Chain A
Amino acid sequence: MSTLHTVNKSPFATGSLRSCLAHARSGDAVLMIEDGVYGATAGTGLSDEIAAAARGGGIGIYVLGPDMAARGLDAGRVLDGVITVDYAGFVDLAAKHDRAVAWL
């Protein structure tokens, strides 16, 4: 059974992205939305850790593009290995996985 995890807070404000990445299993997807998109940016203190999660463990790491744009973060700042999706892509991820868990 695979899970879509959504994280909507910045990893610099709460520990939910880290907890989520630690709990996610192979086959799962982690989608950063709202302020969570700060976790998908390159060149931060957490970039290496998140990029490593995106490379290994069979977890798909995604970011919601419209929320990046809303915060002035252009597509060029997305970490390697993190896939940008729009709302239609968000819906597809929710449909593709067996359940959705919001890390609120």
Chain B
Amino acid sequence: MKFGVVVSEGPYTHQAADTAYHFVVAALAAGHEVPRVFFYHDGVNVGTRLSVPPQDERNIQEQWSALAREHGIDLVICIAAAQRRGMLDEKEAERQGKDADNIAEGFRISGLGQLIEMGIQTDRLVMFGD
């Protein structure tokens, strides 16, 4: 079965990004497919490569990047939510005249169309938020 996953809460807030991660790991272990995870609202902050959590603590962004690398998951960050929160890829930083970008490996910025497409192309949509 194909699962689509939405994360709408920021990292290190309550637990949504962690619960979603464990859900995806378990779904893949059970032989299901998770083609895409959509990061929405404050959830977009998961995708910054500039976070530096304490070394003895989980690094939520790195966990997601590694999972995407190993399983080919498309990690999509909502562009409208991203722009409000200072999340920029190289192209957007240039377009907006900003001096830096911060998107982590495996994440990409795109639009709500990707959420709709995920809803159409997967069997179940599971939301994790606040």
Contact = CB atoms under 8 A, between A and B. Distances in A.
Asked if A and B are interacting partners, one says yes
Contacts of A99: 124-125
Contacts of A6: 126
Interface in B91-130: 123-130
A95 interface: yes
B50 interface: no
Given A8-B16, A91-B27, A100-B127, 19 more contacts: A8-B128, A33-B19, A34-B14, A34-B15, A34-B16, A35-B15, A67-B19, A87-B22, A88-B26, A88-B29, A90-B23, A91-B3, A91-B26, A91-B30, A94-B124, A95-B1, A95-B123, A100-B125, A102-B129
Nearest to A97: B124
Given A87-B22, A90-B23, A102 B14 contact: no
Tell me if A's interface is mostly helix, strand, loop or mixed. helix
B25 interface: yes
A6 B6 CA distance: 14
B71 interface: no
Nearest to B6: A102
Interface residues of B, number: 23
B16 to A, nearest CB: 7
Tell me if B's interface is mostly helix, strand, loop or mixed. mixed
B32 interface: yes
Contacts of A48: none
A66 interface: yes
B8 interface: yes
Contacts of A88: 26, 29-30
Contacts of B125: 99-100
A102 to B, nearest CB: 4
